[in-house]
Each structure stands twice: as C-alpha cells, then as structure tokens.
Homo-oligomer: A and B are copies of this chain.
Amino acid sequence: MRRQVDGRKVRGEKRRTEIIEATLRVIERDGVAGVTHRTVAKEAGVPTTSTTYHFASLDDLLIATLIDCARDMATEVYWMIDRARSRGSRGAEEVAGLLAEALGPRRGRTMAEYELYLLAARRPELRPAARRWLDVLTSMVRHDDEVAFRVFLAGIDGLLIQGLIDDEPPTAEELRPVVDYLLKPR
C-alpha cells in the first residue's frame, strides 16, 4: 500500500518536476508573460492537458515554480560557497564571483528569479518562498551587526537588479571593489 502510493507519487512527481523545469525555462526565455499551458507543455514535451492535470491553475504552476526555483537556487549557492571556501577564498571574492556568474552565464535565470520575486510582491502566499533567497544570503556572511547585514542584503539585490539593465554584464573584477566596500565594517 505504501509502496503503491509512493511509486505512483514518484512517477507523478517526476512529470510534475519536468513541467516546473520547463516553466522556468520558458520564463528565462520569454518572461512570466510567456507562460501559458501550451508553451510550457511544448517546452516540456508533454501534452497540454498534462499541465492542467498536475496544476489546478496557471497560478498554481507559477507558485510551484517560484518555490522550486528558490529551493534550487539555495542548494546551488550553498554548493558554490562550499566549493569557494574549500579553495580558501574569502567572503568578498565568493560574493563577487557569484554576482558575476548570476549576471553573465546565468543571466536568464537571474531575470526569471527576479520576475518571480516581484510576483511575490503582489501575492502574499508566495512571499515566504521569495524570502528564502534572503535566507541563502544570510548563510553566506557572518552578521554580528544587524544593520550592516541588512545593508549587505540590500546591496546584493540592488547590484543584481541594476546589473540586469546594464548593456554588458560586469565582471567579477569590476564587482570586487564594490563588494569589498559593501562588506567593509565601519
């Protein structure tokens, strides 16, 4: 009985996950505006009705995508930090590298994340998921000073969103002094 339910759930969850990942790809490519049952289904290579079967509405799909996205990002960033720390780099370098990567190769993903982030401003139910991003950042630096830490958090988000409207993404080297200043105690 348990095995049955779990086995089915696993299959169902797999399809569900595929749809969520396809949704994220669509958002990366065309933005939230490009998300429809049909575009997502085509991207995932599944029939249209599959998206309506697994998600009661498009809203549910977007919400699930944001939650999944935040979770993904959390684990990725954790891993990246771990890798950086194992190479003995310090905080500022990690952060600068992270920002450069988010604005360079992962630019589409970053845009998607901020679109979903902003979606949370209008829908209270997915604010907890959006705030998880702040939790990730919280784990990146020690914060004895609450105010300094709040400034750091704001600075990261600001640098990212401003980097998105730059014509060419800033490099880690360019970002480095800004992050240094941001982390410097006063």
Bound together, the chains give a CA A4 to CA B20 distance in angstroms of: 57
A118-B118, A153-B162 are known; give 14 further A-B pairs, CB within 8 A: A114-B118, A118-B161, A118-B164, A121-B164, A130-B165, A131-B165, A147-B178, A148-B181, A151-B181, A154-B157, A154-B162, A154-B178, A157-B157, A185-B186
Residues of B within 8 A of A162 (CB): 134, 153-154, 157
Interface centre among A134, A156, A157, A186 (most CB of B within 10 A): A157
Main DSSP-derived SS at the A contact region: helix
Interface membership of chain A positions 80-115, coded 1 if the CB is closer than 8 angstroms to chain B and 0 otherwise: 000000000000000000000000000000010011
Query: Assembly of this chain: how many copies?
Result: 2
CB-contact partner of A111 in B118, B147, B184, under 8 A: B118
Bound together, the chains give a CA A147 to CA B170 distance in angstroms of: 14
Chain A interface category by residue count: 35 or more
Bound together, the chains give a CA A131 to CA B117 distance in angstroms of: 20
Bound together, the chains give a CA A62 to CA B161 distance in angstroms of: 20
Which residues does A use to contact B, with CB under 8 Å?
31-33, 111, 114-115, 117-122, 124, 127, 130-131, 134, 147-148, 150-151, 153-159, 161-162, 164-165, 167, 177-178, 181-182, 184-186
Bound together, the chains give a CA A120 to CA B167 distance in angstroms of: 10
Residues of B within 8 A of A164 (CB): 118, 121
Residues of B within 8 A of A151 (CB): 155, 178, 181-182
Interface centre among A32, A114, A178 (most CB of B within 10 A): A178
Residues of B within 8 A of A33 (CB): 32-33
3 nearest CB pairs, A to B: A154-B158, A158-B158, A186-B186
